[in-house]
Amino acid sequence: MNTSKTNISSPILSVIIPTRNRAEYAISAIRSILNITSPKLELVVQDNSSNKDLEEYLNLNVCDSRMKYNHTMEQLDMVENFNRATEIASGEYITFIGDDDGVNPEIIDATVWAKAKNFDILLPTRPAQYNWPDTRSFLYGTRYAGTLNIKPFTGKISFPDAEAEMRKCAKGAGQNYLTSSLPKVYYGIVKKECMEKVRVRTGTYFPGPSPDVAGAMAVSNFVKRICKIDHPLFLPGTSGKSMGGLGAIKKHIGQLTNQIHLPINYVHNWSNLVPSFFSGETIWGEDVVQALKAIGRDDILRDFNIPLLHAMCAVFNPAYFSVTIRNFYPALRVMKIGYIQGTFRFIYGYFYTWVLRTKFLVANLIRLLSLDRSYTVRKLNNIEEGVKALTKYLMSRKKRFNKNL
């Protein structure tokens, strides 16, 4: 069912929310975004829920010409849900967020500025994070449930090179995606015309098993002018039902055939360069491989770091150690890496990963002891309250987007 409610001629930014069976989060996210009064905003909600909870709520409570809502009852994989959302977005720029996320209302001013500077993509950092009240953590339990956490940020502007970032991501086997300056469609603001170039080249906006990394690698091939800014234009949310939330309690792993949210064609054509099980490490690695193949960048794919990927899989997914090792040497052969060289690189990557893990645990211990420099607001019930608390913080500290410029 399509209940489009729009008469916008040319919004500058489409904020896109793909969702499925998570109305308890999506309702708050939608309300929060529509609290932004700018007529230059478009909100696209692509709902693949098996029920009508969200549709009925919106029909009864939301009447805003800036919203496009499309409900597809037939179950779609995650990539197809993202594809359909992209097709109906009409903004000059688009951005994707999760149904438990929020955006800083300054995002419209930032997009106007990016257009005036003719940037293909505006890439903000993510110093702010909201944890829904149902969030549980393996390390912290419920300590950070219902909290907004803001790390120090500077407002610094830089101009990454897309080609260089694609190569860095390949050399990191996709595992450095979050910390890289790779152009991103998820929590990034990108010209839709660049996404259309991806579709023309590959037949899809997201040529990989998950939309975030695959979309980033693919669109990076078609963007020229990138601006990165250290400012919280997005408020990522972690909820009990999100992938981030499941990862926090160590449930983000399993057999590929059990992941009904993955596109079946990508599962059937899983690369022999990546161990064939589902985890954050394997999905990001496979996204890089399939996206580079789809856009015809075999030159960058040659940099894909087989030993590091398998080392990280071995460290973080010990239950699938045998699967990882069985895949390793055939993958070396495909990439024409000698067994001796590959083995030494695997050993180095294995210990390197443990060093990174130790640093991560130390950072978590510092946070647990409340010794870090983060600003925290507690007892926030939903993402609406989180966005309001973020806005209040930015205004009180005079850390507004326009001040950075």
- In this predicted model, what pLDDT tens digit does every residue of 52-75 receive, in sequence order? 999 999 999 999 999 999 999 999
Residue whose pair of structure tokens reads 């210990």 in the numeric block: 351
Q: What is the pTM of this model?
A: 0.92
What is the reported pLDDT for 371? 63
- Please tell me the predicted confidence (pLDDT) of residue 48: 97
Per-residue pLDDT, 9: 66
Residue ranges, the chain, pLDDT below 70? 1-9, 139, 242-252, 367-368, 370-371, 404-405
Residue 404: the pLDDT is: 65
Walk me through the domains of the chain, giving residue ranges and CATH numbers.
5-243+374-404 (3.90.550.10)
* pLDDT value, residue 246: 44
Q: Among residues 223, 210, 220, 362, which one has the least CA distance to residue 281?
A: 210
pLDDT tens digit sequence for 93-112: 999 999 999 999 999 999 99
Predicted local distance difference test score (pLDDT) of residue 247:
43
User: Do strands 157-158 and 226-229 pair parallel, antiparallel, or not at all (unpaired)?
Assistant: antiparallel
3-state secondary structure of 304: coil
Q: For position 188, what pLDDT does the model report?
A: 98
Contact present, 79 and 2 (Cβ < 8 Å): no
What pLDDT is attached to residue 73?
94
Sheet holding 41-47, edge to edge: 5-6, 66-71, 41-47, 13-19, 93-96, 189-191, 121-124, 226-229, 157-158
